[in-house]
Amino acid sequence: MSASSLSDLLASQLPNALAVRARTLLKTQAALDRSLPAALAGHVRVMQLENAVLSLACDSGAVASRLRQQTDTLLASLGERGIVATAVRVSVNPELLARYVHPVEKTGLPPAALDGLAHLNAEIEDGPLKDALDRLLRHHRKA
């Protein structure tokens, strides 16, 4: 089953009021993402919009502090995007931070591939591609 058919199935099974609320929150999140400064984008989530009070959760206290300083500008920008909010309530939720994922050890290029690249590098004329191949080969031959 594809993701789109699954989402269609779930959407058809949701009570209408819940589906409307979900769409409203998604629309509000999209408007918020466009309204936030680049440094804050991706660090703030819409939690609720009720009685013209927009509740937001930030992933750190520093982001929350900066957001509180910019609430007037944020409310004006959201208003231009059709989101009616007169106040903002900001909270900190560290669970919004991305979890640390240990880097995966990657295997290098196989010797046959390196030999093929070296052969190509020997045949092409000087230029940016040759320089890039030189760097690539030096990098992979070190290991």
What is the rounded average pLDDT of the residues 80-109? 84
User: Which pLDDT belongs to residue 143?
Assistant: 56
pTM: 0.59
Give 56's contacts (C-beta < 8 A, 6+ positions apart). 32, 44, 45, 46, 47, 67, 88, 89, 90, 91
Contact 97, 59 (CB under 8 A): yes
Question: pLDDT: is 87 or 143 the higher one?
Answer: 87
